[in-house]
Chain A
Amino acid sequence: DSGVTQTPKHLITATGQRVTLRCSPRSGDLSVYWYQQSLDQGLQFLIQYYNGEERAKGNILERFSAQQFPDLHSELNLSSLELGDSALYFCASSPTGGGYTFGSGTRLTVV
Chain B
Amino acid sequence: DQQVKQNSPSLSVQEGRISILNCDYTNSMFDYFLWYKKYPAEGPTFLISISSIKDKNEDGRFTVFLNKSAKHLSLHIVPSQPGDSAVYFCAAEKTSYDKVIFGPGTSLSVIP
Grouping DSSP codes into helix (H, G, I), strand (E, B) and loop, the B interface class, with mixed when no group exceeds half, is loop
* Chain B count of residues within 8 A CB distance of the other chain: 24
Q: Does B15 contact A (CB under 8 A)?
A: no
Contact B93 A98 (CB under 8 A): yes
8 additional contacts (CB under 8 A) given A42-B102, A98-B34: A40-B9, A42-B89, A42-B105, A43-B105, A45-B101, A48-B99, A98-B93, A102-B36
What band does the interface of chain A fall in when counting residues whose beta carbon is under 8 Å from B?
20 to 34
Q: Does A18 contact B (CB under 8 A)?
A: no
Contact B41 A97 (CB under 8 A): no
Q: Which of B43, B44, B100, B104 has the most CB of A within 10 A?
A: B43
Q: Does B45 contact A (CB under 8 A)?
A: yes
Complex interface bits, B20-36 against A, C-beta within 8 A gives 1, otherwise 0 = 00000000000010101
Q: Does A4 contact B (CB under 8 A)?
A: yes
Contact B97 A43 (CB under 8 A): no
Complex interface bits, A1-31 against B, C-beta within 8 A gives 1, otherwise 0 = 0101000000000000000000000000001
Q: Which residue from chain B places its CB closest to the CB of A97 in the assembled complex?
A: B98
